Structure 1
Amino acid sequence: MSIVINWLAFLEVLGVALAGTLLVVGFYATGLRMLVRAGRSPVVTPAEFTDAITVISEKQAKRAAKAAAKAAKKSPLSDGAKRLALIAAFGCFALCAAAVVAGILLIVLR
């Protein structure tokens, strides 16, 4: 009994995995960048976990929210440019989601 490896199929899977990773990470990073350019930097309040290594205090969370609001005020973009950046951010997030769904469909339907 001999084992035969289909190297062409292996390279195909490798290429699709790399391309999918680049698409998802690239669109997500660009979406976050456009979101910040639109003046809507995401500030996430930390969750309290008993076994967490580092937990941000309420004071630090308020300071981060204040800094984000201050940065949004300083934006040199006009209202139209901010709106365009926000639309671009949502478009990037939609493309990121589409890449994930396409990857799942490739797995399920193949």
Structure 2
Amino acid sequence: MIVINWFAFVQVFAAALLASTIVVTFYSVGLRLLVRAGRSPVVAPAEFTDAITVISEKEARRAEKAAAKAAKKSPLTDGQKRLSQYAAYGCFAVCGAAVLGGILLIFFNH
């Protein structure tokens, strides 16, 4: 007869829900703070096959130009931008720590 430990199932479900919420929240806040600091991430287009639309070099240059223009119009002082950048890095560190903690829990089975 198979016996299911429902309490353990609920524990795993709650831990997964909490961890995913932490990672997504801190990553999105980190990205927002990074943009606020004037360091918006611009990703170069990749070449894909099939039905995936790829932006052209012209569109990539236009996006970089728009990001640079938005960074110049920022009403924040240099100190506020630097603080936002450090806070963004802190948010990314929390994401990394959450992922690393999950991996350690898997490896050490605790």
TM-score, normalized by the shorter chain, greater than 0.5:
yes
Mapping of 1:1-110 within 5 angstroms? 2-51=1-50, 53-110=52-109
Aligned residue-pair number: 109
How far the C-alpha of 1:48 sits from its partner, in A, is 1.5
Any stretches of 5+ residues in structure 1 without a counterpart? none
Which 4+ stretches in 1 moved above 6 angstroms? none
Cα RMSD for the two superposed structures: 0.8
79-88 vs 48-57, which deviates more?
Answer: 48-57
**SS of 2:15 mapped into structure 1:** helix
Amino acid at match of 1:21: S
How far the C-alpha of 1:7 sits from its partner, in A, is 0.3
How far the C-alpha of 1:14 sits from its partner, in A, is 0.2
Q: Deviations over 1:48-89 (max 9, x none)?
A: 123352010010000000000000001110000000000000
Task: Compute the TM-score of the two structures, normalised by the length of structure 1.
Answer: 0.96
Q: Deviations over 1:10-63 (max 9, x none)?
A: 000000000100011011001000000100011111111233520100100000
Identity value in percent: 70
